[in-house]
Structure 1
Amino acid sequence: MKITFVLPYTGLQGGVRVLAIYAERLQRRGHEVTAVSNPFTMPLRSKVKSVLVGRGWPTNPAGQSHFDRIDVPHTVLNKERPVVDADVPDADVVIATYYATAFGVQNLSRAKGAKAFFIQNHEADKRRRDADAAWRMPLHKIVISKWLLQLAQEEFGDKIVSLVPNSVDLEQFNAVERAKGAVPTVGILYSTSWMKGCRTALKALEKVAAVVPSLRVISFGAEKPGLDLRLPRYAEFHYRPPQNSLRDLYAKCDVWLCGSAREGFHLPPLEAMACRCPVVSTRVGGPLDIIEEGVNGHLVDIEDVDGLSQRLLQVLTLPQHDWKRMSDAAYDTANRFTWDDATDLFEKALELAIERDRRGDWSPRPMILA
């Protein structure tokens, strides 16, 4: 197949990493893959705020992106705008990868390919009106978690949907069997995005530290901690760590904490599991699909600070043999999610998009493909 990915921009975000993985793996399978994106831009107001809270002037060093690491042709448009026919090659299928890109993709001619929409989240903030409009377009939907599948079914009446769960690179993320550490250690992703729930996670950690004075926190993220969201003194922070060092960071943790308010999938909990780390998470996205309560981790309600702290303490104070049982279960869970399997499903989803376009079939049906 000739396949075109249309991205809003490229960078070091987790969603961009997923797109780069699929683009590279599809190319390895013999498909002709192209990526087209807008340039990365940040409003002046956001840049000034970054300075005021102590992070400095924000940069994306040398335009760093996960697409820099792969050999897939990538065109960056001259300015931020919807794609038009002249921007993309003729293809078998063209994929919108964000609600804002769906509007341009929807208006492309049929020569640019059957139209698909790869959905990694549902925007519920001020973008919701436009996001909902994109969901209602006659594009073949590919979603990454069961809650997005349910949303497509129940809210948008789109019954022909492909479910392609995110996965984990088990060559990159793995760890040997290990015991719980001598120093109680919790891992978190640092982010100022409200969706990531870092404030909730930090409040939970504060309660844990009051009970466990020796608590250590390991954190990493794509933005430096600032005055508006401080890390505690017992936290060590890694700014944009190299991909090949993430495994070691996960493997130092006794439990991984996700306090998110909203996620499409969210890869860090699954990556942590691959490194034999149990997970305590709010009920969002991927964690809902991968956590078996009390077996490989725990789930609590969104914004439930007390629930998160109690479950963290429960994991941190487990006897060694019980912690190892949970650690092994987390590892076993991660091994059920491979990118080879996910790419198989992604290929089938694109083939279905092409078939639906050929038939002109965009009517709802009680059909789910996974």
Structure 2
Amino acid sequence: MRINFIVPPLGQSGGTMVVQRYVNELDKRGHDVRVYLPLTGLGLHRYSGKLMNCAHDIYSFFKGIIEIAKHPEKGKFVFSGSSRSIRDADVIIATAWPTAYLVNNLPNSKGKKFYFVQDFEVWDNQRLGLGSYQLPLKKIVISNWINQQLISNLGIGPFPIVYNGLDMPSESLAPHKDPYAVLMLNHSLEKKGIPYGVDAFRKAQKKIPTLHLTMFGLNDQSNLPQDLHIEYYQNPSQRKLNYLYDISSVFIFPSIEEGWGMTPLEAMAHGDIVVGTDAGFANELGRDKFNMLKSKPKDPIDMANNIIEVVNNNHLQTILRNNALNTVAELNWDNSVTRFEKLLQ
């Protein structure tokens, strides 16, 4: 098949990494795959004022230019999403709500139109985000939670689900696990619940002073409290991130809502105990006191109690760690790509 992916010019993220993995795996299977990154014309409409939206479009444009400079191998970069810029193909896939409008407006010669939905994207612009899911595109979602949101908010679905794959680590990069090392993702989106996770750690540290927190993320640490010592890594390499997973014992997953959640699953694969909310993957694969410890979203007290409990209970750690490893072992990229490929066909 000739397959075109359209990705937004917003830099690296978990979602774009998933798309890139599908691109690489489909290419290995003999498909003719091309990635298009439009540099103009998407318009996230994130702000109420026209001037701010214009400034954000300019910012996205230059961020796209940086992507080209850093990753020229990623695909074909175009300055617009016009029909002339995109080749004819068998399949064309939107990967975020602004790209859904672009794909919908292309002629049918560009291929069967799909929308790969990795989250319920209504934080930039609720009206346009919701509208994108009502476009006549074939949808593929990554979780039942996304289907639930589409059904309850728009009365559409359910759509085929393809869980994200996961790479199991071949070896540990750390000499041993630090029993008091806690790891957490940092993110600028409110729905990620970062203040609640930090607060939970702070409360747990008062009971166990030897606990220490490491965080990582694409953004800087300006959103984090200055009075709490946090070892921080901005945009770490995959090797460095794997080391952080390997040396840590607890991973905090404080999301209020989540399309899936790659990092806690990666942490499980490295033997970390996930203490988190019943959001994203945890709603489907997570079982409280079986393969993780769950709290309600926005409940740092309960989450702190779970951190304290697991750090002080070696027997519980063993149960959770073994069951978590068995859970993530069922997620592999070969199965995910096979299902994705069949849906495209």
TM-score higher than 0.5 = yes
Paired residue secondary structure (2:160): strand
CA-to-partner distance for each residue in 1:215-253, whole Å, 9 max, x for gaps? 111211112211x42365442111211112221101111
Structure-1 residue corresponding to 2:59: none
Note the residue ranges of structure 1 that are not aligned, 5 or more in a row: 49-58, 352-370
CA distance in 2 between partners of 1:178 and 1:130 (Å): 49
Paired residue secondary structure (1:345): helix
- 2:337 is the counterpart of 1:343: yes
Letter of the 1:77 partner, please give it.
Answer: V
Pick from 320, 327, 330 the counterpart of residue 333 of structure 1: 327
Letter of the 1:158 partner, please give it.
Answer: I
Structure-1 residue corresponding to 2:23: 23
Paired residue secondary structure (1:237): strand
- 2:103 is the counterpart of 1:105: yes
Query: TM-score scaled to structure 2, two decimals?
Result: 0.87
Count of residues in Structure 1 that have an aligned counterpart in Structure 2? 331
- 2:275 is the counterpart of 1:274: no
From the superposition, tell whether residues 66 and 318 of structure 1 become closer, same or farther in structure 2 (CA, over 3 Å).
farther
- Mapped contact 2:183–2:245 kept (Cα < 8 A): yes
Q: Which moved more, 1:281-290 or 1:331-340?
A: 281-290
- Mapped contact 1:177–1:276 kept (Cα < 8 A): no
- Mapped contact 1:256–1:269 kept (Cα < 8 A): yes
1:177 Cα shift?
A: 12
CA-to-partner distance for each residue in 1:8-47, whole Å, 9 max, x for gaps? 125221111011000110111000111111339999979x
CA distance in 1 between partners of 2:68 and 2:278 (Å): 30
1:64 Cα shift?
A: 4.5
Pick from 202, 214, 219 the counterpart of residue 218 of structure 1: 214
From the superposition, tell whether residues 350 and 244 of structure 1 become closer, same or farther in structure 2 (CA, over 3 Å).
same
From the superposition, tell whether residues 214 and 160 of structure 1 become closer, same or farther in structure 2 (CA, over 3 Å).
closer
| 1:78-157 alignment, distance < 5 Å | 78=79, 83-125=81-123, 127-157=125-155
- Mapped contact 1:10–1:66 kept (Cα < 8 A): no
Structure-1 residue corresponding to 2:187: 191
Q: Which moved more, 1:150-159 or 1:188-197?
A: 150-159
Query: TM-score scaled to structure 1, two decimals?
Result: 0.81
Q: Which moved more, 1:162-171 or 1:92-101?
A: 162-171
Paired residue secondary structure (1:125): coil
Structure-2 residue corresponding to 1:252: 247
CA distance in 1 between partners of 2:160 and 2:313 (Å): 39
CA distance in 2 between partners of 1:4 and 1:337 (Å): 25
CA distance in 2 between partners of 1:312 and 1:66 (Å): 42
Note the residue ranges of structure 2 that are not aligned, 5 or more in a row: 56-61
- Mapped contact 1:123–1:131 kept (Cα < 8 A): yes
CA distance in 2 between partners of 1:175 and 1:288 (Å): 28
Letter of the 2:205 partner, please give it.
Answer: A
Paired residue secondary structure (2:344): helix
Structure-2 residue corresponding to 1:77: 78
From the superposition, tell whether residues 95 and 273 of structure 1 become closer, same or farther in structure 2 (CA, over 3 Å).
same
Letter of the 2:245 partner, please give it.
Answer: Y
Letter of the 2:140 partner, please give it.
Answer: I
- 2:288 is the counterpart of 1:293: yes
What percentage of aligned pairs have identical amino acids? Answer: 27
1:6 Cα shift?
A: 0.7
Paired residue secondary structure (1:162): coil
Structure-2 residue corresponding to 1:167: 165
Which gives a bigger RCO, structure 1 or 2 (Cα 8 Å, sep 6+)?
A: 1
1:103 Cα shift?
A: 0.9
1:166 Cα shift?
A: 1.2
Structure-1 residue corresponding to 2:198: 202
- Mapped contact 2:10–2:63 kept (Cα < 8 A): no
Pick from 56, 71, 74 the counterpart of residue 68 of structure 1: 71
Letter of the 1:328 partner, please give it.
Answer: N
- Mapped contact 2:96–2:116 kept (Cα < 8 A): yes
